[in-house]
Amino acid sequence: MKKKGIKNRVTPWEVKGSVNYDKLVKEFGVERINEDLLNRIKKHTKELHFMLRRNIFFAHRDLHWLLDEYEKGNKFFLYTGCGPSGPIHLGHIGTWMFTKWLQETFDVELWFQFTDDEKFLFKKQSLEEIQQWMHENMLDVIALGFNPKKTHFIINTKHAHLLYPIAIRIAKKITFSMVKASFGLREDSNIGQLFYTSMQAAPAVLPSVLKNKNIPCLIPHAIDQDPHFRLTRDILPKLGYYKPASIQNMFLPPLTGVSGKMSSSENNGIFTTDTKEEVKNKINKYAFSGGQPTLEEHKLKGGDPEIDVSFQYLRMLLEEEDEKLNKIYENYKSGKLSTGELKKYTIEKINVFLEKHQKEREKAKKKIDDFVYKG
Amino acid sequence: MKKKGIKNRVTPWEVKGSVNYDKLVKEFGVERINEDLLNRIKKHTKELHFMLRRNIFFAHRDLHWLLDEYEKGNKFFLYTGCGPSGPIHLGHIGTWMFTKWLQETFDVELWFQFTDDEKFLFKKQSLEEIQQWMHENMLDVIALGFNPKKTHFIINTKHAHLLYPIAIRIAKKITFSMVKASFGLREDSNIGQLFYTSMQAAPAVLPSVLKNKNIPCLIPHAIDQDPHFRLTRDILPKLGYYKPASIQNMFLPPLTGVSGKMSSSENNGIFTTDTKEEVKNKINKYAFSGGQPTLEEHKLKGGDPEIDVSFQYLRMLLEEEDEKLNKIYENYKSGKLSTGELKKYTIEKINVFLEKHQKEREKAKKKIDDFVYKG
């Protein structure tokens, strides 16, 4: 999958270089979320989630259509997922926090797919190792507080009797040439990789198949997964189903700076199982700073919050209150707030979040059975 | 899959032209079954099945190894299957009759795969239509008298939760280039077709996976399926499993003459649901004759049993007694037996077989549940 010499690259398996979201919007053909759409969402949700207010969820496909249906009483379901191959980091959490908000606000079902097959097929890890990570990752999803009565975990291997019969209907309409064009797959790609996208497409219609009626679907996901769902959207109407709507978020940056994305395999982020000390150490030592080399210079010239990773973590994930965030922004920019102080605040916010999360994660160990779909 | 201008072609999805078995043996790399091997088999079975005596099952892979293991007390299991897309014809029956003999003689388990996914992915038929045929085809398999306690039907869609986790381990070791070379698949092949061979490979290790120990496998199959199992044999040792052994039969010829194979989609054979009248009509009207144009000429010059389709049905499927068959051969060759008489005898043999088969087929309607694997 890797091509040398390409600096900016966004595929479901690789995000490299600084991400130009305007270019992605154009390339992928998604639509920017604008004021009109935000106002329309607000009619239903009263408040707007800060990730909408701040354009972290910045693009969509067919959200207007989805709301048309919703307003007619045709409720949608949510579909998102996780490719388990390592520990969960803060970059995963944002998409799921927002998904939980959607579930609560619209009172809808969530189908949550664990793509153990994908990670096995695309990585040099055994299925056993992947499935151990899957177990760990489930704890993180449950810890976020999803409603077990309305949330169904689907595991690609375990639930293949549900997914595979749908996947082959989708696969019959996708050729090698198409997955070559969409994902950069090649003649030396393994045949599981070639087939895989049809397994990721299947949950977008699984509830419709199970209930034997056409149900609208909304997929919240990080923008790198869009090639899968773009293809899915082309195929499903040919099988008599709605095109799934989708809503895309930007990547939480890695500690090293505001390009690429936080990634377990590159070990460049904060894991949900990190201790308070580890968090402190990672932020202090590695979080790229937009501040000046010396405190004096910083006081004089001010810092750049746009490229400051700590500030971005606050903006994208941890500081829900706009007023507080704006104050931090201004103070950092003016030089009133030092890098040390910004990092200290960020460390506190992360650790407050993780303390609660880790407690819930412990409790989740007894809850997995309530979430794994029975059927 | 179809290439124009190629007259002789044997792939899992197409058998065209007169089949040169010597060439196939060389091309596919299977071994001829020789006297030595027959004698070794006979030590265990006492009698040799007429399909072995007559070289209808003519080739194998690793049968000596399989018997080594058997003699050490390491019992094998049988794996064969059916791609359901139309009615069962006499060409299918031979492989399964022989498989039943193996099951009884060696007292072993049989895993019988119904590849509904394959037929859906390679044919212009809906999954619903395929699955209706599958139901019909199951009746034919059961009617042959397999032991329900030792026979497990595996349906690729229904049992995907068992097969898919194995299939992806196999798929990870197979590239597009390999399925292009092995099956002639192309850039415009659908991704389900590309993945499919790994689903056909999976039952060769399913019992080993379920019982968590390495169990030898013997696959009786028509020679056209060999490309699947050749690939399977390359991969399984890399996953820590035995290479499956296999035993290959020749094709029962279509009514039209001794080239190609009997095929449901080409409607060139005798179906198990044909009435006595239909059988009579098909043989009399269409069965290619090795006789002379006139009865007088026939009496003078004699017929050619080698190219006579009726005679081949007797030899390959219906006339178990060598003495009777030899007499028919001699009399037909000398001209003593006319084409009309040969056809009459063949019609009788088919109709005796079908009368019993159709009765058992009716009873089978209540037995399907006993055969479909539960797990």
The model's pLDDT over A177-224, given as tens digits with 9 standing for 90+, comes to 999 999 999 999 999 999 999 999 999 999 999 999 999 999 999 999
User: What φ, ψ does residue B40 adopt, rounded to 5°?
Assistant: -65, -45
Cβ atoms of B298 and B305 within 8 Å: the answer is no
Q: State whether the Cα torsion B343-B138-A161-A234 is positive or negative.
A: positive
Q: Where does the pLDDT of residue A3 fall: very low under 50, low under 70, confident under 90, or very high at 90 and above? A: very low
Q: Cβ B176–A194 below 8 Å, yes or no?
A: yes
Tell me the per-residue pLDDT of B241-300, one tens digit each, with 9 for 90 and over. 999 999 999 999 999 998 888 888 788 999 999 999 999 999 999 999 999 999 999 999
Lowest mean pLDDT among A11-25, A133-147, B273-287: A11-25
Q: What is the mean pLDDT of residues B134-142?
A: 98
pLDDT class for A319, splitting at 50, 70, 90? very high
- Cβ of A171 within 8 Å of Cβ of B192? The answer is yes
Identity of residue A255:
L
Average pLDDT, rounded, for chain B: 95
Tokens of B288: 């290619």
**Whole-number Å distance between alpha carbons of B70 and B63:** 10
Any B CB within 8 A of A192 CB: yes
The nearest alpha carbon in chain A to B159 belongs to A161
Average pLDDT for B302-314? 96
The mean pLDDT of B26-35, rounded to a whole number, is 95
Q: pLDDT, tens digit, for every residue of B74-87?
A: 999 999 999 999 99
Q: CB contact, 8 Å: A180 with chain B?
A: yes
Are A293 and A311 in contact by the 8 Å Cβ rule? The answer is: no
Dist CA B10 CA B183 (whole Å): 10
Q: pLDDT value at position A4?
A: 42
Q: What is the 3-state secondary structure (H, E, C) of A16-75?
A: ECCCCHHHHHHHHCCEECCHHHHHHHHHHHCCCCHHHHCCCEEEEECHHHHHHHHHCCCC
Question: Residue A12's pLDDT is what?
Answer: 77
pLDDT at A368: 98
Q: What is the pLDDT of residue A338?
A: 97
Mean pLDDT (whole number) for B52-70 = 97
pLDDT tens digits along B324-369: 999 999 999 999 999 999 999 999 999 999 999 999 999 999 999 9
Question: How confident is the model at residue A26, as a pLDDT?
Answer: 93
CB contact under 8 A, B174 and A164: no
Interval B191-237: pLDDT, tens: 999 999 999 999 999 999 999 999 999 999 999 999 999 999 999 99
Q: Is A239 on the interface with B (CB under 8 A)?
A: no
Contact residues for B29 (Cβ-Cβ < 8 A; gap 6+) = B230
What A230-234 contacts at long range (C-beta under 8 Å, 24+ apart), as own/partner pairs, is A230/A28, A230/A29, A230/A182, A231/A174, A231/A178, A231/A179, A231/A182, A231/A197, A231/A201, A232/A170, A232/A197, A232/A200, A232/A201, A232/A204, A233/A61
- A123 at interface of B, judged by CB pairs closer than 8 A: no
**What does each C-alpha distance from A193 to A26, A73, A121, A134, B235 come to in angstroms?**
26, 38, 6, 19, 17
Does any CB of chain A come closer than 8 Å to the CB of residue B373?
no
3-state SS, residue A217: strand
Which ipTM was obtained for this model? 0.94
CA distance readout (Å), A109 to A75, A134, A147, A324, A367: 9, 21, 9, 33, 18
pLDDT (0 to 100) of residue B214: 97
pLDDT confidence band for A353 (50 / 70 / 90): very high
Please list every residue in chain A whose beta carbon sits closer than 8 Å to the beta carbon of residue B127: 165, 168-169
- Residue B42: its H or E element: helix B35-45
Q: For each of the domains in chain B, give its residue range(s) and CATH number, in order of start.
A: 9-256 (3.40.50.620), 276-363 (1.10.240.10)
By C-alpha distance, the chain A residue nearest B190 is A175
Min mean pLDDT across A19-33, A79-93, A331-345, B253-267 is at B253-267
Cβ of residue A336 closer than 8 Å to a chain B Cβ? no
Q: What is the pLDDT of residue B19?
A: 83
A60: closest CA of chain B, how far (Å)? 27
CA distance A278 to B274: 76
CB A103 within 8 A of CB A145: no
Identify the helix (H) or strand (E) that includes residue B14.
Answer: strand B14-16
Residue ranges of the alpha helices (H) in B144-215? 160-171, 176-183, 191-201, 206-211
Residue B70: both structure tokens together? 């058997």
**A2 pLDDT higher than 60:** no
Task: Find out whether A61 and A47 touch, Cβ atoms under 8 Å.
Answer: no
Residues in chain A: 375
- What separation, in Å, do the N-terminal and C-terminal C-alpha atoms of chain A show? 35
Question: Residues 91-120, chain B: which have Cβ within 8 Å of A?
Answer: 117, 120
Mean pLDDT of A95-107: 98
- Quick one: angle between helices B160-171 and A160-171, nearest 10? 60
Q: For residue B117, give the nearest of A168, A178, A194 by CB distance.
A: A168
* pLDDT given for residue B132 in this prediction: 98
Quote the crossing angle between the two packed helices B226-235 and B176-183, to the nearest 10°. Answer: 150
The partner residue sitting opposite B176, judged by closest CB among A127, A189, A197, is A189
> How far apart, in whole angstroms, are the C-alpha atoms of residue A118 and residue A195?
10
Per-residue confidence (pLDDT) for residue B362, from 0 to 100: 98
Res. B9 pLDDT band, cuts 50 70 90: confident
